[in-house]
Chains A and B, each alone.
Chain A
Amino acid sequence: MPVAPPDGDTNTAEATASRPVHRLPFWVNQRLGLLVLIVSLSALFGVLRPAFLDERLVLFPLLRDISTLTVVALAQMVVLSVGHMNLAVGRMAAFGALFAGFGYDRLGLPLPLGLLLCLFAGAAIGALTGWIITRTGVSSFVVTLAMDFALLGLVSLLYSALTENAAFTTKPSGLAELRSYSLADICVGPVCGSPAVPQLAQFTVLALLGLGFLYACTRIGRELLLTGANPAAAELSGIPTGRRVILAHTLSGLLAALAGFMAAVSTGTFRASIGDDFMLPSFLGAVLGGTLLTGGVVSVLGVLLGTSLVGVIRKGLDLLGVGLESLNIYLGCVLLLALSADRVRTVLSYRKVVRST
């Protein structure tokens, strides 16, 4: 659901939509457009290539990728909500996965404890980033960029220092099951789930629910949004903006580490290259879903839809025989087209509203 601060930006589509007098036409709702697009594209690909609807071979890996990338995009969304950016999402994911791998390989931890260690490491590096930004007042772009550089070097150095072939390969019990089990392996009596939905998706669902609750129902969520919409106003209304910024970066680090863990589980090894290609999807998912780069407006559901759209297009084109090399061209065009269309739609709808009032 779109969430905007109650008294913040009145010139956003979402804020206007909540007021009955200036009600925007329903087709302006970005989320609805995304859902229609995803369903129609899936149907189109399903008709053109029936293999697209194969539950075990296509949909299962597709949904597993979407689950991971949704968490990545959520990590970006949390910092975007306070008007910041996190260019180091991928590297924070690698950092978290490093700790999980270390825990399993050297400390012999069971699966849940390793995950906890991974989340803790991610949150710590996120908190450090947030603290540097708040204390120095330097823009988050620069700080996270520098963090990206530093972690890029540090993670590879640690891997080559701690392991022989730059990867932790020890698998604790339960990891293989987590990787390959789907809902079909969970049965309540005679009823089993769909074999298309991977078990890894449970983390994504938890993250979605948690963030949805945070932004829609809690005071802290509202304060985060207000900090993003107007930092000066937030400061004047007694919100500890510095602490909220640190909180946002901590959450971002935590989610990035979770995504790193999920990526490591789905590939089976903990290595330094995890998260290399996370930056682009993190922005794609969040921005297509309707989160503003300026802060103050987030959409938790939109992140899921935006990431799904990208995933469906990628997989569909792949199945249609569009080579890997051309795939990026189409994805870039889709991003630019989607955003231009969005802009045209917003302008048109405003004209309509203005004319009718």
Chain B
Amino acid sequence: MITIRDRGARGVAVLRRFSRSTTMTLLCVVLAGYVALGVASSGSFFEGPSVRTFLQYLATPVLIGLAQMIALCVGQLNLAVGALGGFTACLMGVLMADQGVPAGVAVAAGVLTATAVGLVTGLFIVATKINGFIVTLGTMTILLGAQYRLAGTRTVDGYSAGLRDLGRAAPLNVPLVFVTALAAAALLAAFLYRSSAGRRLLAAGGNPLAARLSGISTDRQIVLAHTLSGLLIGVAALTATASLPGVNRSVGGDWLLPSFAAPIIGGVALTGGSVAVLGTVLAAFVMRLIDAARAQFSLDPSWVNFLIGLVVLGTVVGGRIHQTHLEKKGSSRGRTPPAPPESDAQPAVVLPHMGGAR
């Protein structure tokens, strides 16, 4: 987890902190889990085709986790992740299969539409001051309807073979869609950690009042966060369309819960102001490992949800215990301050004060 404070840290201190961080724990879990799964499958899990399938279906969880993370970082929630992703995937599919639009144009139109929906959501939240939770709940409902209207009950699969080949292409056994997801994560990390616009985003999420007093428009940051979230969902929809055999109205239906699980396991605070790009990517890895293990031992798919639920609960409870432990030792540095239990909700309808400012 990286907060503004971490910037000045150097050398040994960085290493020591890193060794105790969520990212490090996740990295160990990923490596141990991967090795254990490989041993359990007597080596077949390390072979080319297994690795390729594993990485191919990792791209979408990484991207939707990042899309949720960017909304969380300004203290917003985006419930429309799955609906927007499904709608965009269906839009691309229908444009290519029914309208005969070339693949490149259809993909660009899809990603642009997703970004525009994110922008409109952000503008609506800022203009009406209604809680982002409720607004995205509304856009989620609208988009679900729109997706159903586009795709109906059929599965759209007659789209461009070129895009499909691109989705399956895997130079050096690393699928292109996975490379796309990693590139998006790297760009996002560079934006958040190295650019002043990214720092403004984090500042607005960490302490809106302080940000406003230092001349940062929190409204603009909220709009920016939702736009970026929409863009990432558009890319996620692209990877899903490219790697799935066809798109229908159930695409995106099971994206919402993993999109929250990845940032939370990765160590992002729901209160805003903190991001963990690497943590989110690794958390998506962990969830994919659980899924792969489920397939390996041919268990009921319900085990995946059950285990992910326990992992999320374990992460938050463990993080809290760790923090109390640190506070007892009197060295509670480098962690986010304890959040009051009610901090997940923002004013639903921000009423003007009695002075009548509005």
User: B-contacting residues of A (Cβ < 8 Å)?
Assistant: 10-13, 82-85, 132-134, 136-143, 145-154, 156-157, 160, 228, 231, 245, 280, 283-284, 287, 292-295, 323-333, 335-336, 339-340, 342-343, 346-347, 350-351, 353-354
Q: Given A83-B345, A145-B260, A295-B345, do A326 and B309 touch, yes or no (CB 8 Å)?
A: no
B354's partner among A10, A136, A280 (CB-CB below 8 A) is: A10
Q: Are B270 and A149 in contact (CB under 8 A)?
A: no
Residues of A within 8 A of B139 (CB): 332, 336
Q: Are B310 and A150 in contact (CB under 8 A)?
A: yes
Q: Are A160 and B300 in contact (CB under 8 A)?
A: yes
| Identity of the chain B residue whose Cβ is nearest the Cβ of A284 in the assembled complex | B137
Q: Given A142-B316, A146-B313, A149-B306, do A332 and B300 touch, yes or no (CB 8 Å)?
A: no
Q: Are B145 and A136 in contact (CB under 8 A)?
A: no
Q: How long is the Cα–Cα vector from A295 to B348 in the complex, in angstroms?
A: 9
Q: Are B354 and A11 in contact (CB under 8 A)?
A: yes
| Identity of the chain B residue whose Cβ is nearest the Cβ of A346 in the assembled complex | B351
Q: Given A149-B306, A329-B146, do A347 and B358 touch, yes or no (CB 8 Å)?
A: yes
Q: Which of B59-67, B204-212, B336-344 contacts A (4 or more CB under 8 A)?
A: B336-344
B345's partner among A11, A154, A157, A294 (CB-CB below 8 A) is: A294
Question: Would you give the 0/1 interface string for B298-341, flagging 1 where the beta carbon is closer than 8 Å to chain A?
Answer: 00101111111110110011001100000000000000001111
Q: How long is the Cα–Cα vector from A293 to B79 in the complex, in angstroms?
A: 15
Can you list 26 contacts pairing A with B, beta carbon distance less than 8 Å? A83-B342, A136-B316, A136-B320, A137-B320, A138-B317, A138-B339, A141-B77, A141-B270, A143-B316, A145-B260, A149-B305, A150-B306, A151-B309, A153-B302, A228-B342, A292-B347, A293-B346, A294-B348, A323-B149, A326-B145, A331-B141, A332-B139, A339-B128, A339-B138, A350-B358, A353-B356
**Seed contacts A326-B145, A336-B139; 4 additional CB < 8 Å A-B pairs:** A143-B316, A146-B310, A153-B304, A329-B145
Q: How long is the Cα–Cα vector from A139 to B77 in the complex, in angstroms?
A: 13
Residues of B within 8 A of A156 (CB): 300, 302, 305
Residues of A within 8 A of B77 (CB): 141
| Identity of the chain A residue whose Cβ is nearest the Cβ of B351 in the assembled complex | A11
Q: How long is the Cα–Cα vector from A149 to B254 in the complex, in angstroms?
A: 11
Q: Given A84-B342, A133-B341, A138-B317, do A340 and B349 touch, yes or no (CB 8 Å)?
A: no
Q: Given A83-B345, A354-B356, do A335 and B141 touch, yes or no (CB 8 Å)?
A: yes
Q: Does B183 contact A (CB under 8 A)?
A: no
Q: How long is the Cα–Cα vector from A331 to B148 in the complex, in angstroms?
A: 14
Q: How long is the Cα–Cα vector from A12 to B348 in the complex, in angstroms?
A: 12
Q: Are A346 and B349 in contact (CB under 8 A)?
A: yes
Rounded to whole Å, the gap between the CB of A125 and the closest CB of chain B is 13
Residues of A within 8 A of B145 (CB): 325-332
| Identity of the chain A residue whose Cβ is nearest the Cβ of B313 in the assembled complex | A146
Residues of A within 8 A of B164 (CB): none
| Identity of the chain B residue whose Cβ is nearest the Cβ of A133 in the assembled complex | B341
Q: Are B142 and A326 in contact (CB under 8 A)?
A: no
Residues of B within 8 A of A294 (CB): 342, 345-348
B312's partner among A149, A153, A293 (CB-CB below 8 A) is: A149
Q: How long is the Cα–Cα vector from A166 to B133 in the complex, in angstroms?
A: 34
| Identity of the chain A residue whose Cβ is nearest the Cβ of B342 in the assembled complex | A83
Rounded to whole Å, the gap between the CB of B132 and the closest CB of chain A is 10
Q: How long is the Cα–Cα vector from A323 to B347 in the complex, in angstroms?
A: 35
Residues of A within 8 A of B300 (CB): 156-157, 160
Q: Are B309 and A149 in contact (CB under 8 A)?
A: yes
Q: How long is the Cα–Cα vector from A141 to B143 in the complex, in angstroms?
A: 23
Rounded to whole Å, the gap between the CB of A140 and the closest CB of chain B is 6
Q: Are A138 and B134 in contact (CB under 8 A)?
A: no
Q: How long is the Cα–Cα vector from A66 to B204 in the complex, in angstroms?
A: 41
A153's partner among B143, B303, B321, B348 (CB-CB below 8 A) is: B303
Interface centre among B144, B309, B341 (most CB of A within 10 A): B341
Residues of A within 8 A of B95 (CB): none
Q: Are A293 and B339 in contact (CB under 8 A)?
A: no
Q: How long is the Cα–Cα vector from A343 to B350 in the complex, in angstroms?
A: 8
Q: Are A137 and B351 in contact (CB under 8 A)?
A: no
Q: Given A145-B260, A293-B131, do A332 and B341 touch, yes or no (CB 8 Å)?
A: no
Q: Does B352 contact A (CB under 8 A)?
A: yes
Main secondary structure of the interface of B (DSSP, over half): helix
Q: Are B270 and A335 in contact (CB under 8 A)?
A: no
Q: How long is the Cα–Cα vector from A322 to B303 in the complex, in angstroms?
A: 39
Q: Are B349 and A139 in contact (CB under 8 A)?
A: no
Residues of B within 8 A of A354 (CB): 356
A295's partner among B128, B134, B302, B342 (CB-CB below 8 A) is: B342
Q: Does B192 contact A (CB under 8 A)?
A: no
Residues of B within 8 A of A323 (CB): 149
Q: Which B residues from 225 to 261 make CB contacts under 8 A with A?
A: 257, 260-261
Q: How long is the Cα–Cα vector from A209 to B356 in the complex, in angstroms?
A: 36
Q: Does B264 contact A (CB under 8 A)?
A: yes
Q: Does B152 contact A (CB under 8 A)?
A: yes
Residues of A within 8 A of B141 (CB): 280, 328-329, 331-332, 335
Interface centre among A11, A82, A149, A156 (most CB of B within 10 A): A149
B257's partner among A149, A295, A350 (CB-CB below 8 A) is: A149
Q: How long is the Cα–Cα vector from A294 to B141 in the complex, in angstroms?
A: 22
Q: Are B349 and A339 in contact (CB under 8 A)?
A: yes
Q: Does B130 contact A (CB under 8 A)?
A: yes
Q: Does B193 contact A (CB under 8 A)?
A: no
Residues of A within 8 A of B340 (CB): 137, 231
Q: How long is the Cα–Cα vector from A295 to B344 in the complex, in angstroms?
A: 11
Q: Are B352 and A350 in contact (CB under 8 A)?
A: yes
Q: Does B69 contact A (CB under 8 A)?
A: no
Interface centre among A133, A228, A295, A325 (most CB of B within 10 A): A325
Q: Are B302 and A157 in contact (CB under 8 A)?
A: yes
Q: Does B119 contact A (CB under 8 A)?
A: no
Q: Are A326 and B149 in contact (CB under 8 A)?
A: yes
Q: How long is the Cα–Cα vector from A292 to B351 in the complex, in angstroms?
A: 11
Q: Given A148-B257, A149-B305, A335-B134, do A325 and B149 touch, yes or no (CB 8 Å)?
A: yes
Q: How long is the Cα–Cα vector from A154 to B139 in the complex, in angstroms?
A: 30
Residues of B within 8 A of A347 (CB): 352, 358
Residues of A within 8 A of B345 (CB): 83-85, 293-295
Q: Are A283 and B312 in contact (CB under 8 A)?
A: no
Residues of B within 8 A of A284 (CB): 137
Residues of B within 8 A of A149 (CB): 257, 261, 305-306, 308-309, 312
Q: Given A84-B342, A328-B141, A328-B142, do A150 and B349 touch, yes or no (CB 8 Å)?
A: no
